[in-house]
Structure 1
Amino acid sequence: MTTQTAPVEAGSPAPTAAVIPAVYGASERPPRGDYDRSGQVKADYTCPQNYAAYTDADHDTYRRLYKRQSALLPGLACDEFIAALPSLGLEERIPRFDDINGRLFKATGWEVVAVPGLIPEVPFFTLLANRKFPVTDWIRTPAEFDYIVEPDIFHDMFGHVPLLFDPVFADHMQAYGAGGLKAHGLGACEQLSRLYWYTIEFGLMRQRGQVRAYGAGILSSSGELAYAVTSGEPQRIALDLLRAMRTRYKIDSYQQTYFVIDSFKQLFDMTAPDFTPLYAQLKTMEELSANAVSPGDVVIHTGN
C-alpha cells in the first residue's frame, strides 16, 4: 500500500515571470528552457505542457529514442522498471502529461508536472514532497540524439517516471523530497544531492545474483546502460549512505563508481531515519573522489 503523508505547504503559486533558472554545473551559457512564456511559469516553476508546440520532428526524435532504449533493457534494467515501462503509454509520440497522470495517480498518488528546465533546490524538493515529479517539457535536437548535458523530456519521462508506478520507490521519492527541504535548512544539500546522483540517477540493484540498473541516468542512456551493468571498468560497491554522500561525481562522463542496493525496500529503509546526525558526521570526514577506493567498500560483482 502506498504511504500518503501530509502535503508540504506550498500554496497555489500564481504565474510569474520572475522565476530564476537553476544552473547545471559550471557553464558560461544560460540554462536551456523558456522560463518566461508570457507569465505562464508559476512561482513553483511549473507550467502548462504546450503540446501543440511539439513538431513532427520532435515526436520522431522521441519515438526513435524510445525504440532504441527499450530494445536495450532486457538483461540490463531491473525487473520493476521493465514491468512499469508500458504504463507510459504511447511509444510513437511524446506523451501528454494528463494521460500519464490518469494512470499514475491511480497507481501511487503521484503526478507529473511540466517545468521549463532545471529548477532550484527548494521548488524541486517541495514538488517531490507533494508527490509531483517535475518533467522538463522540451526535447533534444536531432544533433543531440546520442548525448545531452541537461535533462530533456525523454530523460525525465523514460528514465524517471516508470518507477513512480512502483509503490515502494514512489514512497522513497516523496521521502527524499521532504528530506531535501530539511537538508536545505541545515546547509547539507550538496551531500544529499550526491545520494540522489548515486541512487535515483545512477543506482544499480542486485537481482537473482546479477546487477541491474534502476537509475534514470543509466536507463535513459544507450551507452552507459551496458557500461554500468556489464563493463569491467567501473567499481560497483554496496550502498553505504556516508560513503555515497562523501563521494564527488562527474556530470560529463560515465560514472567511475556505482552503488548497489538489494531492493527498493532496502533503499527506503536506509534513507528513512533522520539524516541530521549524518550531516554533522560528514562535516568531520574527508570528501572522496569519484574513483576513490575506500577500505570499507563491499565490492559487488556483476555476475555476468
Structure 2
Amino acid sequence: MDGSHTSSEPPSGAGADWTIDQGWDTYSRAEHQVWTTLYERQTALLQDRACEPFLRGLEALDLHGDGIPDFRQINAQLMGLTGWQVVAVPGLVPDAVFFEHLANRRFPAGRFIRTRDQLDYLQEPDVFHDVFGHVPMLTDPVFADYMAAYGRGGMRALSKGHLAHLARLYWHTVEFGLMRTDAGLRIYGAGIVSSRAESVFCLDDPSPHRLDFDLVRVMRTPYRIDDFQPTYFVIPSLEELLAASLQDFGPIYEALESLDDIPIGEVARADGIIHRGSQTYHLSRSDPQ
C-alpha cells in the first residue's frame, strides 16, 4: 500500500467497488509457468525462513496447483477458515476502496502476473505478490483480525489526515515485517516472502537494522519502495501486533503531530535493538527517495 492511484473512478469493466472477474480461464500456459517457477523457488527457500502461520497457510490453501490459483477455489477454503476472500482488482485502487475491502474481510489482488524477465523484481504488485505473499497469512485467525482492524483504522485515518502514518504501519508489518520465534527471527511480511533476494537479505545480511516493534516508532519511520529495507521491525507475536492495532489511535495521531519523522536507516535512542546494522548496502546506493 503506497497511496499511488491515478484515478478516483473505476476503469471500464470494473464494478463500483473496483472489483473485476479474475478471468482464470484466460491465463496462458506461459503465465502459469511463471507462477510455478516463482512458487517452487520461494517455497524451497522459505522453509526455515518464513513463520509457521505462513507455512501452514500455504499448505491449507494448496496454492501450487497447476499454476496461478483460481480465486474461486481459494475462497472456498479461506472463507471457512477466517471469513476472508480474495477479490480481483485491475491494479492499485483508491485508499478508501482498499480500506473498505479490508474492513469487510476482502483482500484486493491484481490478476496480472509478471513476465519471465521480471522474476526478481517488479514494483507494482502482481498476483504472485498478492496471493502467494499475502493470502497464506489470512488463514491465521489472529492475523486475519489484524488486517480487518487495519482496514477499519484506515477509514478513520483518512478522515483525520493521518494516512501517511498508517501506511507506514502497513509497510513495516504486513509487507516487510519480521517475527520473533523460538527458532529465531522469521518472516511474515508479504513483500519479503514473495522476493527471493529480500528473503535472504532481511535475515542474513549484516547491513539492515532489526529493531523491536513499537507502534509510534513505526509510524514515524519512512520506507523504501525501490530497494531492500534499511530497517526491519520485529514483532514479538501476532497477538501483540493485533493488540497494538485495537487501541484508540486518536491520542497517537495527536502525539505524532508534534514528533518528527525518524530518518530512514537511523537508530533512535529509545529503540530496542536486536541487530544494529552496518548500513553498508544502503550507503553504497543512491540517496533514499
Q: Specify which of 154, 158, 167 is matched with residue 180 of structure 1.
A: 154
Q: Residues 63 and 132 of structure 2 are in contact (CA less than 8 Å); yes or no, is this contact kept in structure 1?
A: no
* Structure 2 partner of 1:16: none
1:210 to 166, 184, 198: 184
Identity of aligned residues (%): 46
1:237–1:260 Cα contact (<8 Å) kept: yes
> Hey, what does 1:164 align to over in structure 2?
138
Q: What displacement does 1:88 show?
A: 2.8
Matches within 5 A, 1:23-62: 23=4, 36=11, 39-62=12-35
SS in 2 for 1:113: strand
Instruction: Note the residue ranges of structure 2 that are not aligned, 5 or more in a row.
Output: 277-289
Q: Could you tell me which of 64, 72, 90 is aligned with 2:45?
A: 72
Partner of 2:76: 102
Give, in whole Å, the separation in 2 of the partners of 1:272 and 1:231: 33
**Conserved? CA contact 1:211–1:301, under 8 Å:** no
Taking structure 2 as the reference length, what is the TM-score of the superposition?
0.91
Q: In structure 2, what residue type is equivalent to 1:62?
A: W
* 1:9 matched residue in structure 2: none
Rounded Cα–Cα distance in structure 1 between residues aligned with 2:184 and 2:62: 29
Question: Pairwise mapping of residues 84-123 of structure 1 onto structure 2 (< 5 A)?
Answer: 84-91=57-64, 92-123=66-97
Tell me how far apart the structure 1 counterparts of residues 86 and 193 of structure 2 sit (CA, whole Å): 19
User: How far apart in 2 are the matches of 1:45 and 1:300?
Assistant: 41
**Residues of 2 paired with 1:255 and 1:90: CA distance?**
27
Counterpart Cα distance in 2 of 1:278 and 1:189: 13
Which segment drifts farther, 89-98 or 210-219?
Answer: 89-98
Gaps of 5+ in 1: 1-21, 25-29
1:191: which partner in 2? 165
1:193-272 equivalences under 5 Å are 193-208=167-182, 210-272=184-246
Q: Which residue of 1 aligns with 2:285?
A: none
User: What SS does the corresponding residue of 1:133 show, helix, strand or coil?
Assistant: strand
CA distance in 2, matches of 1:58, 1:194: 32
**TM-aligned CA deviation for residue 279 of structure 1:** 0.7
Q: Mark the CA change 1:89 to 1:74 in structure 2 (over 3 Å): closer, same or farther.
A: closer
CA displacement 1:34-76 (0-9 Å, x = unmatched)? x63xx42012111111112211110000010000111101221
Alpha-carbon distance in structure 2 between the residues aligned to 1:199 and 1:147:
20
Cα distance in 2 for residues equivalent to 1:90 and 1:168: 21
Cα offset, 1:142, TM superposition: 1.3
- Secondary structure of 1:300's aligned partner: strand
- What does residue 110 of structure 2 align with? 136
Opposite residue 296 of structure 1, the aligned amino acid is A
Pick closer, same or farther for the CA change 1:204–1:52 going to 2, 3 Å: same
**Cα shift at 1:301:** 4.3
- Indicate the RMSD between aligned Cα atoms, in angstroms: 1.5
Distance 1:289 1:99 in 2: 43
Distance (Å, rounded) in 2 between the aligned partners of 1:167 and 1:126:
19
Whole-angstrom CA distance in 2 between matches of 1:90 and 1:249: 30
Could you say what secondary structure the match of 1:128 adopts? helix
Contact 1:218-1:224 at 8 Å conserved across structures: yes
1:191 counterpart SS class: helix
Asked if structure 2 preserves the Cα contact closer than 8 Å seen for 1:211 and 1:229, the reply is yes
Contact 1:88 1:95 in 2 (8 A): no
Instruction: Give the total of aligned pairs.
Output: 271
